[in-house]
Amino acid sequence: MTRRSNLLAVCCAAWLWASPAWAETPSGALGAPALPAGVAQTTPPGGSTQLSDSPASAPGAASAARVCPPPAVRPTPDALRVMAAQARDRGFLWRIRRDGHDSWLYGTLHVAQSEWLMPGPRVQRAMQRSDTLALELNLLDPQVMQVLARPASPARVNAVMTPQRREALAAQADKACIDARLLAPLRPGMQAMTLLTLAGREDGFYADYAIDFVLAGMAQAQGKPVIGLEKPEDQLALLTGGSSQAEGEMVDKALEELASGRARTDIQALTQVWARGDLATLDRYPEWCRCMDTPADRAQMGRVLDQRNVALARGIEKLHAEGRRVMAGIGALHMIGDQGLPALLQARGFEVLRVDFDRPLPGGQARGGSDPGP
């Protein structure tokens, strides 16, 4: 069996499994002007520090005796103030200009560490200057999550869930300290992608801290609309394949990556590239991901990235043409190559300048295709 990365497909599984609680409390709940609006509201009334009682945070009794990853925790106000004082920019940010006004393109992560919750000054500034947040999916819309959680037909489940796959998924769920019965309502492909998402918890990477969630919370607190550029039905179809055979193959590949430990190391590699803002290494992703080895792999890469990028670029362009100042937060892998979003937007007539996180924020002129600040 071909070994290839499933990191491209974990996005909506991550959002479905994580706690969407970042935007539950009123804006300004902490009353701390040093904190960017939106992130401050991640502590609910009463000061509870644990996120929702999601399955990721509630191992079953069979796993209770094992050393399991700790649950994701909601930072306290004091912890957020420390984060605010130490916040630095991470990831990949571009300023895009056309028709006399600016928008921004931010390459995000769908799993992250708690230390990365507080955006750095340039990302905060881009959020402040924008008036609309565009994400792959609108994470604040309950109907989006309902679509992602929609079960498959019994016939499809029976065709995909052979006894061997069911047993292997249950074993991986137990290894992840998850009661397999909590996964059972999800489609087989979503079960497998969820387990891939959870593989990073041992190293502190949680979907609960997804950068997309942080941006959505900030936008809600700032009274800005959040717009989904894609339909959840389309992402669900991508995760579950066009047939029971395709979905079964996706489950098998995910199980192989989990059993080999590669799911965990892949998350480590990509998150560290993102944290460093190492665009050169990210651009070489097809060389080191082992996800382009066969014609089938390359076709899947085309479906997951290239084909979606065309629609994503079109959606960003449409919002910008309406006069909106858009902050578009899209998974970082959508930024690479000549079919990546920066290249596609440039081809559509945008001036595209990467924001240089290493240069002083005030003043300065763009040089060498980079921009000193949003």
Q: Give percent of the chain above pLDDT 90.
A: 55
The residue that leads in pLDDT, 352 or 286, is: 352
Mean pLDDT value across residues 185-206: 92
- The pLDDT of residue 84: 83
| Mean per-residue pLDDT over the chain, rounded | 81
- The pLDDT of residue 91: 97
- Cβ–Cβ under 8 Å, residues 196 and 6: yes
- The pLDDT of residue 299: 73
SS3 of residue 205 by DSSP: coil
The residue that leads in pLDDT, 318 or 34, is: 318
Distance of CA 218 to the CA centre of its chain: 16
- The pLDDT of residue 236: 83
- The pLDDT of residue 125: 94
- The pLDDT of residue 306: 83
- Cβ–Cβ under 8 Å, residues 229 and 311: yes
pTM of the model: 0.83
The bridge status of strand 370-371 relative to strand 351-355 is parallel
213: CB partners within 8 A, 6+ apart? 15, 18, 20, 22, 23, 139
Residue closest to 180 by CA, chosen among 171, 189, 188:
171
Distance of CA 111 to the CA centre of its chain: 6
Q: What is the maximal distance between C-alpha atoms in the chain?
A: 63
- The pLDDT of residue 317: 99
Give backbone dihedrals phi and psi of 359, rounded to 5 degrees, phi first.
-95, 155
Mean pLDDT value across residues 96-111: 97
| CA pair distance 240, 148, nearest whole angstrom | 11
The bridge status of strand 326-331 relative to strand 370-371 is unpaired
- The pLDDT of residue 365: 39
The residue that leads in pLDDT, 235 or 96, is: 96
- The pLDDT of residue 45: 27
Mean pLDDT value across residues 93-98: 98
Burial degree of 326 (CB within 10 A; 0-12, 13-18, 19+): buried
Give the amino acid at 369.
G
Provide the 8-state DSSP code for 36: P
| CA pair distance 6, 4, nearest whole angstrom | 7
pLDDT band at 39 (very low <50, low <70, confident <90, very high): very low
| CA pair distance 105, 22, nearest whole angstrom | 22
pLDDT band at 274 (very low <50, low <70, confident <90, very high): very high
Mean pLDDT value across residues 114-120: 92
Burial degree of 61 (CB within 10 A; 0-12, 13-18, 19+): exposed
CA distances from 18 to 197, 209, 216, 360 (A): 10, 8, 14, 35
- The pLDDT of residue 102: 98
Q: What is the dihedral of CA 266, 357, 309, 261, to 10 degrees?
A: 0
Six-digit token pair at 288?
A: 């080191």
The bridge status of strand 351-355 relative to strand 92-98 is antiparallel
- The pLDDT of residue 367: 34
Neighbours of 26 (CB within 10 A): 8
Check pLDDT > 70 for residue 205. yes
Check pLDDT > 60 for residue 126. yes
- The pLDDT of residue 303: 76
What is the side-by-side order of every strand in the sheet holding 226-228?
Answer: 226-228, 132-135, 326-331, 101-108, 92-98, 351-355, 370-371
Mean pLDDT value across residues 131-142: 93
Distance of CA 373 to the CA centre of its chain: 24
